[in-house]
Amino acid sequence: MDSRVQFCTACGAGVEKKIPPGDDHRRYVCTVCGNIHYQNPKLVVGCIPEYQHRILLCKRDIEPRRGKWTLPAGFLENGETVREGAMRETYEEALVRVEIIAPFRLFDLAFVNQLYLMFRASILVPDFGPTPESSEVRLVLEEDIPWDDIAFPVIARTLRHYFSDRVKGQFSFQSLELSKSTSAIK
Amino acid sequence: MDSRVQFCTACGAGVEKKIPPGDDHRRYVCTVCGNIHYQNPKLVVGCIPEYQHRILLCKRDIEPRRGKWTLPAGFLENGETVREGAMRETYEEALVRVEIIAPFRLFDLAFVNQLYLMFRASILVPDFGPTPESSEVRLVLEEDIPWDDIAFPVIARTLRHYFSDRVKGQFSFQSLELSKSTSAIK
């Protein structure tokens, strides 16, 4: 999922895709000024907000997967730390303030040039509500997770790992890779 | 360290910086086609390659900090996992093959819109050498680390944490924030 570049951001001339001298990757290079437009993976940050053994889920009111349930998460912005990004996304999607506990899972989704970093988090005051991004926000027990209606495989995976660690009483950080095929498995 | 965008990558027209509807960040928005040019932090991946209690260091032969010592690390590329990126950078900078053990530290460098993910790694065969990026590559004992000539504060920090964990006989993953001021501290 390369974002297509057709014109140079520095001079507005056309670009071509080629390997610059001393490089080994094809890049979008300006045919006039030579500016190189690098493209790199994007980091999604989010959390698993817990309150009295319940997990906060958001029903997506935006595409893709409108109407499906997810954990709060979104692209890290310039100038913020991963914790700040996870807290901001959680507030934007569910109007709830969380306390970040620790990083829980880092998933490589190299097939879409994304990484997901999911934190464990606590809700101190269960004050939340719908937002432009979420038509509904709920605290749900493990047995009530709508497994068939989770928006993305990486979110279902995060939840399963979380419950699996929680029952053992020990959470450990892991960095894992999801392939296009494994990510289809809930 | 926002990369300045002056022209639209989709149509070549001029852009302006403004908050798009429904957004809360200023973005580069095309004045003609409305294309939004998002900018996000970049992830640097690298490792601490160890061989018989020695750490592999590279003497930079490129700017910035040419002539200073560093651990192999570089920007994650589209299409690769964080482990693949760390292994590739290590080979590019030191011509050495490493086995990645586990993620060790994730540093937020929000003030330059970067994150550093550093892995522990083993060198199986101590076969390495200089490259276009490194004028010299060496295996050094902790007592021989050239602390005054380490290229970047985040690298010095990684090494100090590594030796501190190693002496305890236990490595734990941590996600930490470096500020512009703390990053000046070795």
Q: 3-class DSSP state for residue A84? A: helix
Tell me whether residues B78 and A43 touch, CB distance under 8 A.
no
Partners of B132 on chain A (C-beta within 8 Å) are 22
A138: distance to nearest CA of chain B, Å?
A: 23
Tell me whether residues A39 and B173 touch, CB distance under 8 A.
no
A144: distance to nearest CA of chain B, Å?
A: 32
Given a contact cutoff of 8 angstroms between Cβ atoms, the answer to whether A81 and B109 are in contact is: no
- φ, ψ for residue A148, nearest 5 deg: -80, -10
pLDDT for A3: 77
Residue A185's pLDDT band (boundaries 50, 70, 90)?
A: very low
Residue B178 to residue B91: CA distance in whole angstroms: 27
A40: distance to nearest CA of chain B, Å?
A: 5
Interface residue of A4, A31, A82, A172 to substitute, partner B, most B CBs within 10 Å: A82
Provide the number of CB pairs (under 8 Å) joining chain A to chain B. Answer: 117
pLDDT for A85: 98
Q: State the complex-level ipTM.
A: 0.93
Residue A2's pLDDT band (boundaries 50, 70, 90)?
A: low
Residue A41 to residue B41: CA distance in whole angstroms: 9
Residue B1's pLDDT band (boundaries 50, 70, 90)?
A: very low
pLDDT tens digits, one per residue of A67-112? 999 999 999 999 999 999 999 999 999 999 999 999 999 999 999 9
Number of C-beta neighbours around residue A129 at 10 A: 10
Tell me whether residues B110 and A5 touch, CB distance under 8 A.
no
pLDDT over 70 at A166, yes or no: yes
